[in-house]
Amino acid sequence: MARAAALPRLTWLPATISDVRRESATATTLRLDVDDWPGHVPGQHVDLRLTAPDGYSAVRPYSLASAGGSGTVEITVDTTPGGEVSTYLTQGARPGHHLEIRGPLGKWFVWDTSDTEPVQLIGGGSGIVPLMSMLRTHDAQQHPAQMRLLYSLPSAVHMLYRPELASLHAEGTVTFLYTRQPTAASTRPPGRITADDLRQHAINPDLKPSAFVCGPTGFVETVLTLLVGFGYDPERIRAERYGEGSST
């Protein structure tokens, strides 16, 4: 009997930065060339390891932004003031630089494309990254499930994936919730996400949606409470907390 091929052990793979793109005033998207990359499903992350010439190394997790099944490895990093790894990735990284990658990681915060139930995505700050992978996968597959995004961010200059999200916004798939500085067109007063925002813009709980929530830990905690209060089934909500070091 043929044995299923053993899954590759999670080892550090060498990666070369092949493209660096400014994504917003403070964030950068990096494309990585990785030999033998096994592919990922939307929602997963990787660990990156950077090593300085003196041997000092630092490891941090970053969500994958590229569509699942695309074979492309792209991450988007927002600057954390004084942060050692994000400062390099957003300001120092250049095409041709080398680093190490381990992954894809995480079997829980993933969107299973065989599900057809509606999906509500809620992201705060750089927490949009894995949700973008879900939106891109949805788009690439012309997936039948309803998918919507609520994106909380300080102001439009912080917006990641602006061209893509602007067209999804025009289709009514995406709602921007500005916490500090709204655009001239928006009627909502600036501020953190509220129960009202969910009532107005989130998929109705009667449709039994699943939900993915990602962002700084405090943001995620708030949204989870609001979603359950709104009537979402806690069993269908998955969350990814980025910690408090990451920026909002």
Partner 1 sequence: MNIPREQRQQPGWHVDGNGLAGAMSDIFGRDITDAMGVCNFCGNRAAVAEVPAYNAGPGVVLRCAECDTILMRWATTPISTWLEMPGLRSLEIAMQP
Partner 2 sequence: MTITEGFVGKASPQGVDLPPGQHLARGFPVLSAGPTPLISTSAWECTVTTTTGHKHVFDWTRLHQLPAEDITVDIHCVTRWSKLGTRWRGVPVEALLADIDDPTAAHVMASSYGGYRTNIPLADLLGGRAWLVFEYDGQALSPEHGGPVRLLVPHLYLWKSAKWITGLTLMATDQPGFWESLGYHRYGDPWLEQRHSRD
Contact residues for partner 2 (CB under 8 A)? 14, 49-58, 81-82, 84, 88, 92-94, 96-100, 244
Interaction residues for ligand FAD, span 36-95 (CB under 6 A): 45, 60-63, 75-78, 80-87
Shortest distance in whole angstroms from residue 151 CB to partner 1? 20
Shortest distance in whole angstroms from residue 61 CB to ligand FAD? 4
Interaction residues for partner 1, span 16-35 (CB under 8 A): none
Q: DSSP assignment of 5-52, as one string?
A: PPPPP---EEEEEEEEEE-SSSEEEEEEEETT-----TT-EEEEEEE-
Task: Write down the residue that tokens 């990666």 correspond to.
Answer: 15
Contact partner, 4, from ligand FAD, partner 1, partner 2, none, Cβ < 5-8 Å per class: partner 1
**With binding defined as CB under 6 A, does residue 161 bind ligand FAD?**
no
Contact partner, 94, from partner 2, ligand FAD, partner 1, none, Cβ < 5-8 Å per class: partner 2
Query: Which of 106, 125, 209, 215: binder of partner 1 (CB under 8 A)?
Result: 106
Using alpha carbons, select from 116, 104, 98, 123 the residue that is nearest to residue 248. 123
* Residue 91 burial (10 A CB sphere; 0-12, 13-18, 19+): exposed
Binding residues with ligand FAD: total (CB under 6 A): 24
Say which amino acid occupies 95: P
Torsion of the alpha carbons at 243, 64, 152 and 231, rounded to the nearest 10: -80
Residue closer to partner 2 by CB (options 212, 219) is: 219
Query: Which of 110, 129, 193, 202: binder of ligand FAD (CB under 6 A)?
Result: 129
Three-state secondary-structure class, residue 74: strand
Q: How far, in Å, CA of 22 to CA of 32, rounded?
A: 15
Q: How far, in Å, CA of 123 to CA of 246, rounded?
A: 13
Residues that bind ligand FAD (CB under 6 A): 45, 60-63, 75-78, 80-87, 126, 129, 240, 242-243, 245-246
